[in-house]
C-alpha cells in the first residue's frame, strides 16, 4: 500500500523491450535506496512494481503487458523521470490517502493554467465510465500524487498543484497532450458501486 506522498523522483537510464514485457533500469538516490530489497514493492508514477535486481544505485523492474497497455510506464523513454514512493510501513505517517498502486486508466492533460502562485491542470479521462467516481473535493491519485479534485466538467476534472508538489515531483514538467496515470480512491469506488447495486436491486423489486 502507498499514500500518494512521493518520496522523490528517479531517472530511467535503460529500457530493454521484449514482446510482452519491458525491463527498465532506474537510478535511485541514496534516500530511495535505503533498506530496499529484491522483491519490494515500489510505486512508479503511482503504479506498483516489484524490485527485480539492485546494482549499486541502479534498480531494475519488469513491466508486464497489462501495465504497458494501461499506464504511462509503457511509453517511458531513456532519460525520463518517474515519481517514486516506497511502500507504506507500520508506524509511517499517513499524509495522503490509501493508494493500492493499481492504475485504473490514464488521462490526457488538456489544459495547464499558471496564475500567480496557482498551477492548475485539467485532465480528460480516456474511459468515461470513471467519471462516476470523480467528485468535487474528492481524492484522486495522479502519477502517484495524492490530490484533491477542484472542478469537474463533462469528462474532464481539474486539480490544483501547490509549489511543494511542483518542486518535488514530475508534475510541473508535464505538457498538454501527455498521459498521466489515474487511480481513484478505493473507498469512493466501493460506495458508488454498492449504492448503484442497491438502487438497481430495489428498483427491480418495485416492478416485479
Instruction: Please report the pLDDT score of residue 148 as a whole number.
Output: 93
138-193 confidence digits (pLDDT tens): 889 999 999 999 999 989 999 999 999 999 999 999 999 999 999 988 778 888 88
**CA atoms within 13 A of residue 59's CA, in its CB half-sphere:** 26
State the Cα–Cα distance between residues 167 and 186, nearest whole angstrom: 27
| Beta-bridge partners for 107 | 125, 180
Instruction: Please report the pLDDT score of residue 96 as a whole number.
Output: 74
Give the domain ranges of the chain. Answer: 8-86, 105-194
The three three-digit cell numbers of residue 62, written as one number: 519488469
Instruction: Please report the pLDDT score of residue 204 as a whole number.
Output: 66
Instruction: Please report the pLDDT score of residue 191 as a whole number.
Output: 85
Instruction: Please report the pLDDT score of residue 196 as a whole number.
Output: 80
Q: Which of 3.40.1050.10, 2.40.30.20, 3.40.50.1000, 2.60.120.10 is the CATH number of 105-194?
A: 2.40.30.20
- Domain made up of 8-86: CATH architecture: Beta Barrel (2.40)
Q: Which residues contact 50 (CB under 8 A, 6 or more apart)?
A: 39, 40, 41, 42, 61, 62
State the Cα–Cα distance between residues 63 and 206, nearest whole angstrom: 48
Instruction: Please report the pLDDT score of residue 174 as a whole number.
Output: 94
Q: What is the pTM of this model?
A: 0.89
Instruction: Please report the pLDDT score of residue 46 as a whole number.
Output: 96
State the Cα–Cα distance between residues 44 and 144, nearest whole angstrom: 7
CB 42 within 8 A of CB 49: yes
Per-position DSSP letters for 145-171, written without gaps between them = EEEEEEEEETTEEEEEE-HHHHHHSSG
The three three-digit cell numbers of residue 136, written as one number: 468535487
Q: Which residues of the chain have pLDDT under 50?
A: none
Instruction: Please report the pLDDT score of residue 106 as a whole number.
Output: 95
CB 131 within 8 A of CB 150: no
Instruction: Please report the pLDDT score of residue 207 as a whole number.
Output: 64
Amino acid at each position: 500500500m502507498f499514500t500518494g506522498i512521493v518520496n522523490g523522483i528517479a531517472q530511467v537510464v535503460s529500457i530493454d523491450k521484449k514482446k510482452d514485457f519491458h525491463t527498465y533500469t532506474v537510478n535511485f538516490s541514496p534516500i530511495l535506496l535505503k533498506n530496499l530489497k529484491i522483491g519490494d514493492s515500489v510505486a512508479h508514477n503511482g503504479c506498483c512494481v516489484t524490485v527485480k535486481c539492485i546494482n549499486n544505485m541502479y534498480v531494475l523492474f519488469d513491466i508486464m503487458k497489462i501495465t504497458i497497455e494501461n499506464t504511462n510506464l509503457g511509453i517511458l523513454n531513456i532519460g525520463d523521470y518517474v515519481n517514486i514512493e516506497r511502500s507504506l510501513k507500520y508506524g509511517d505517517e499517513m499524509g495522503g490517502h490509501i493508494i493500492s498502486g493499481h492504475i485504473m486508466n490514464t488521462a490526457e492533460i488538456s489544459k495547464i493554467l499558471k496564475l500567480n502562485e496557482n498551477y492548475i491542470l485539467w485532465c480528460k479521462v480516456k474511459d468515461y465510465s470513471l467519471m462516476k467516481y470523480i467528485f468535487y473535493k474528492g481524492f484522486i491519485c495522479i502519477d502517484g500524487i495524492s490530490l484533491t479534485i477542484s472542478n469537474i466538467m463533462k469528462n474532464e476534472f481539474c486539480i490544483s498543484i501547490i509549489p511543494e508538489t511542483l518542486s518535488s515531483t514530475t508534475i510541473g514538467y508535464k505538457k498538454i497532450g501527455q498521459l498521466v496515470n489515474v487511480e481513484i480512491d478505493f473507498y469512493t469506488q466501493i460506495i458508488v458501486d454498492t449504492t448503484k447495486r442497491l438502487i438497481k436491486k430495489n428498483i427491480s423489486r418495485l416492478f416485479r
